[in-house]
Amino acid sequence: MAEKFSSTSLSYLDNIKKHLEFIFALCSALAYTISDMIAYDLGGIFHPFLISAWLSFGMIIVCIASILLLRPTFPPTKTFNSAILVTLNAHLSVFSVLCVISANIYSNPGDATAISYVSTIFTAVLGVIVLRDPCRISDAIFVPLSFAGVFVIARPEFLFHNEELAHDNERTYLLGVILALCVAGAEACVLVLYSLIASHELHPLFLVLSSGLLGVTVNTLLCFLFNVWRFPSSFLQYFKLALLGLSWSCGILLAFLAVKEGRPTRVAILMTSHPVFVYIGQYIFFDIYVHWLGYIGAICIIIACIGTGMLKQETPINDELQDESKVRTEEEARILLHEKDG
């Protein structure tokens, strides 16, 4: 009986391990959704520079606490190449954070998040160019499907001419769209960098810490330069800012773990569940109405996520390289054995 229970438990754990990429990506999307809701709520009180500065400060606190608890190996960078990758990741992350917060405020969380997920296409292109990731049939199906869903949710005005879809301030909304597209490009680069950084065996906490340190420095300087610095006036505001940093840090760490378990393209597809969560959240917490086209787009995204999860038999890049090396070794062994017999 005990052996049967033990074998069942091991089988259950093995099944979970096979889907870690799927689990990490969806949890990352949920963490980012929480941060989006908080950032939008604070947007009416604080300037985006200030929100970004406090978010980065929260990331530093989370990382320091985690480093003291986990005590990962120090120093984080072992080679010059890994140091360059960490530096690039920090700059892209700081830029992405500032654009995300600004886009949420200038448009709305749902549309800004949806538009930013054209990063799925950018990630697929970068994956093929930089990582030499093969273009598979599943990618050719689910990448366009997820992009179509995001596009329908975004409802660009130059295609959807309808008074019901009109925005109060078209110029401000256009600025939010441009910033969301900047987020898409930055996040695609970050996802590919995560895959490259994973091969250097760097602890993800150091990536978040480097982004937080740079973010605090840059955004604090911008706050004083534009004279928008101010301290929270209540405990609730302090709590929201702390939760903002915590949720964003968790989103970064979980996204890194997801990419480490799989391929950037599949992670990008799974992360397109993020707009769905944001639309639900903004309706619940801020009573922001979701147009019926948004539901069509959400269905497309969900189908892409489910399809990707069902095609888990595709192996990550690292596993593919190991399999190719193993095949070459076996072929060499057969050749040597044949020569010996001859």
* pLDDT tens column, 17-39: 667 888 888 999 999 999 999 99
Output the pLDDT for position 308.
60
Residues 331, 218 within the same domain = no
Output the pLDDT for position 42.
92
Residues 320, 228 within the same domain = no
Residues 167, 241 within the same domain = yes
Judged against a pLDDT cut of 60, whether residue 341 lies above it is answered with no
Residues 207, 188 within the same domain = yes
DSSP state of 168: S
**83 falls within a domain:** yes
Output the pLDDT for position 316.
44
What would the two tokens of residue 25 be? 């990506």
Report d(CA 325, CA 137) in Å as an integer. 24
**11 falls within a domain:** no
Report d(CA 126, CA 192) in Å as an integer. 7
Residues 283, 338 within the same domain = no
Contact at 8 Å (CB) between 251 and 28?
A: yes
Output the pLDDT for position 275.
83
What confidence tier does 240 reach under pLDDT thresholds 50, 70, 90?
Answer: very high
Q: What is the distance, to the nearest Å, from the Cα of residue 253 to the centroid of all Cα atoms in its chain? A: 9
Report d(CA 33, CA 251) in Å as an integer. 9
Output the pLDDT for position 184.
83
Residues 306, 330 within the same domain = no
**5 falls within a domain:** no
Residues 337, 307 within the same domain = no
What would the two tokens of residue 51 be? 């929100």
**8 falls within a domain:** no
AA letter at 61 = I
Lowest average pLDDT, out of 156-165, 188-197, 244-253, 309-318, goes to: 309-318
Average pLDDT over residues 247-272: 78
Domain coverage including residue 293? 20-311
**4 falls within a domain:** no
**239 falls within a domain:** yes
Give the pLDDT confidence of 294-333 residue by residue, as tens digits: 778 778 877 776 676 566 444 444 444 344 444 444 444 4
What is the residue whose two structure tokens read 């990490």? 24
**79 falls within a domain:** yes
Radius of gyration of the chain (CA): 22
322 vs 215, residue with greater confidence: 215
Those residues with Cβ within 8 angstroms of residue 299's Cβ, 6 or more apart along the chain or in another chain: 149
**10 falls within a domain:** no
Contact at 8 Å (CB) between 86 and 76?
A: yes
Output the pLDDT for position 292.
76
Report d(CA 263, CA 258) in Å as an integer. 8
Cis omega before residue 75 (within 30°)?
Answer: yes
